[in-house]
Structure 1
Amino acid sequence: MRYLILGAGALGGYFGGMLIKGGADVTFLVRPKRAAQLQRDGLIVKLQDGSELRTKTKTVQQGQLNGTYDVILLSCKAYDLDGAMDALAPAMTEQSVIVPVLNGMRHIDVLTVRFGQARVLGGLTTINAALTPDGTIQQSQLRINLNAIGELDGSTSNRCAAIKADLEAGGVPVQISDTIVAMMWAKFFGFVISATIASLTRSRAGAIAQSASGPSFVSDVIDECTRVVTAAGYPPAPPPAPDAAGIVRGMFSQQGSTYGPSMLIDMEDGRPTEGEHTIGDLAERAAKMGICAPLLTAARCNLQAYEINRGKHSKT
């Protein structure tokens, strides 16, 4: 199968590099600056085990796509989704399939409206990686490496099996799930809890753990988010399913921890955030269901104010 990876950032570069390692036919759709960097240095991925993957890549730029592709891996930030869809549309046929690993749930509705449910899979990853200034991709030491794909209607398919085989040939374990939507909601739940805590405190986990009111605040955020996802029809799954709330609670109880979710890191670096697509989305769902969600509303307001102030600073 031919794979098109939209961008060669942290996640796109990681998955693309591992697919190439396993022998897959991979092309990266990138901007001119990244294309030049990859042409000069190749794709460099530093893995958790200390090894380094260096590989040559095929790249293409928007408007210069060479034919169509069987699988499009979509790992952009949620706020770039509209532009991403325009960029990948010429690469698709009726048999092409999009595998999104974005944060949140809103993108599934957007993608299925644009391309149809038959051309969109559910997907999630908990792999954490960062793109360094020199273009290297550094996989985080945070060893929660869950990857899953599945048909949105829960059916089995040969295409899921083929994608799983290609990823695992490169060393990426993948689960095919017949409940992928519920799994994505579980990740959405955990992400919003973590992002809400960090957005309201503007602090790393260790500082929150040291504060006297930290544990009760974390519990309040978990309780509020639990009420909303339960009302939406996706309550936290019982064991043996992963305990998203418990994982987040554990992360924010470690004194000295430097952990911060991507939302916080984006704010620290002055970048746009996925706030509206994650925290904002869950806050809107709560409002439509008549559920009072003051912490989600406060976090959303905080992020909206951040974006307004960021815009003012960028103009000066």
Structure 2
Amino acid sequence: MHIVVIGAGALGVYFGGRWIEAGVDVTFLVREKRAAQIKENGLKINSTHGDYEIKKPHVVTDSGEIESADLVLVSVKGFHLEGTLDQLKTLTEKGAYVLPVLNGIEHIKILQEKLGKEYVLGGLSYIFATLNDKGHVEQAGDMHHLVFGELDPSQQTISSKLAEVSQNAGFIAGHSSEITHELWKKYMFISALSGVTTAVNLPIGSVREHPETLHIGDMILREMQSLANAYGADITDADVDAALQNVHALDPEATSSMHKDRRKGLHLEVDHLQGGAVRLAEEVNLDVPYIRAVLGMIKPFEQG
């Protein structure tokens, strides 16, 4: 199986590297600047689940250099998705399926319209990982999950193949028969966590110390539940309770990737996450005041 990873950030390098460790053929499709960094420093995973150095990673900067591929893991930020579409189109025309692991929901429709519904699987990940100054992965905590599943019945074979090659790949792989439900659960959780931590510019422990602040996260979960159910996802009260339990189980210093980006002065995914939720809510005439408020508070920091 040949897997192409678009976006050699922490997530893409982690899962791509673990596949390589398991003997899978992986190509990293990256921008020129990232390619130069990889050429200079190589790729390494520093992880609570074991370190791994990727010897001579296969790196290209143009999809035209790739003869064929079975699967493309898309691990870019939401605001970079548009820039990958032509590359993805080239690869799907060569027979590749696409597994996006972006946060949110809107990207699924964008990819399906550009590439064709039959080529786009559903996917998400749970992992705390960043890149250090050398472009190496720093992964912390127990979570290193990759969940995927078919959005079209014709994708059963490729999903099964992916499950097979991921079985001994050094991370927790889940082949879900209800991937749409899983996508909405993740979207619900990340919208609340990223929204409240980024808006108040504090880690989750400080949020939990103030009931009034934690209440905002709780209400975002409830609004996301209503939004998901308006789109047929059937998110239950038990799903919301589980998300709240996860919030309380996090290390006090834990925070969202969006909050980390705000602290670093980087471009934020707020339009893709909270902005996307507001747009989806407007389409079904649903009022989401807490999400709108958090969107408004974070928006001034969007461009860094």
Aligned pair in 2 of structure 1 residues 37, 215: CA closer, same or farther (>3 Å)?
closer
- State how far apart, in whole Å, the 1-side matches of 2:263 and 2:107 are: 25
Aligned pair in 2 of structure 1 residues 214, 4: CA closer, same or farther (>3 Å)?
same
- State how far apart, in whole Å, the 2-side matches of 1:44 and 1:2 are: 20
In structure 2, the residue matched to 1:146 is 145
Aligned pair in 2 of structure 1 residues 25, 233: CA closer, same or farther (>3 Å)?
same
- State how far apart, in whole Å, the 2-side matches of 1:5 and 1:261 are: 23
TM norm structure 2: 0.91
Aligned residues of 2:29 and 2:63 also touching (Cα < 8 A): no
- State how far apart, in whole Å, the 1-side matches of 2:248 and 2:56 are: 41
- Structure 2: give runs of 5+ residues left out of the alignment: none
In structure 1, the residue matched to 2:203 is 204
- State how far apart, in whole Å, the 2-side matches of 1:77 and 1:166 are: 25
User: 1:279 offset after TM fit, Å?
Assistant: 0.8
- State how far apart, in whole Å, the 2-side matches of 1:63 and 1:99 are: 16
- Provide the secondary structure at the position in 1 that maps to 2:87: helix
In structure 1, the residue matched to 2:84 is 84
User: 1:94 offset after TM fit, Å?
Assistant: 5.5
- Provide the secondary structure at the position in 2 that maps to 1:174: strand
Aligned pair in 2 of structure 1 residues 61, 214: CA closer, same or farther (>3 Å)?
same
User: 1:45 offset after TM fit, Å?
Assistant: 0.5
- Structure 1: give runs of 5+ residues left out of the alignment: 311-316
- State how far apart, in whole Å, the 1-side matches of 2:249 and 2:235 are: 16
In structure 1, the residue matched to 2:279 is 284
Greater shift in the superposed pair: 125-134 or 201-210: 201-210
- Provide the secondary structure at the position in 1 that maps to 2:255: coil
In structure 2, the residue matched to 1:60 is 60
- State how far apart, in whole Å, the 1-side matches of 2:234 and 2:200 are: 26
In structure 1, the residue matched to 2:268 is 273
Q: Within 5 A, what are the aligned runs for 1:303-314? A: 303-307=298-302, 310=304
In structure 2, the residue matched to 1:225 is 224
- State how far apart, in whole Å, the 1-side matches of 2:66 and 2:54 are: 24
AA matched with 1:35: A
In structure 1, the residue matched to 2:116 is 116
- State how far apart, in whole Å, the 2-side matches of 1:104 and 1:215 are: 22
- State how far apart, in whole Å, the 2-side matches of 1:174 and 1:32 are: 30
- State how far apart, in whole Å, the 1-side matches of 2:101 and 2:286 are: 28
- Provide the secondary structure at the position in 2 that maps to 1:128: strand
Deviations 1:110-145 (A, max 9, x none): 00000101111111110221111111111122x233
Deviations 1:208-254 (A, max 9, x none): 22235234333333333333323332243466999223312544xx6
- State how far apart, in whole Å, the 2-side matches of 1:212 and 1:170 are: 41
Residue 180 (structure 1) aligned with residue 175 (structure 2) = no
- State how far apart, in whole Å, the 1-side matches of 2:22 and 2:143 are: 22
AA matched with 1:48: T
- State how far apart, in whole Å, the 2-side matches of 1:246 and 1:60 are: 42
AA matched with 1:78: G
Deviations 1:167-220 (A, max 9, x none): 223222312111111111111111111122123322111222223523433333
User: 1:95 offset after TM fit, Å?
Assistant: 2.7
TM norm structure 1: 0.88
- State how far apart, in whole Å, the 1-side matches of 2:104 and 2:165 are: 25
- State how far apart, in whole Å, the 2-side matches of 1:63 and 1:117 are: 21
In structure 2, the residue matched to 1:157 is 156
Kindly report the root-mean-square deviation, in angstroms, between the aligned alpha carbons of the 2 structures: 2.3
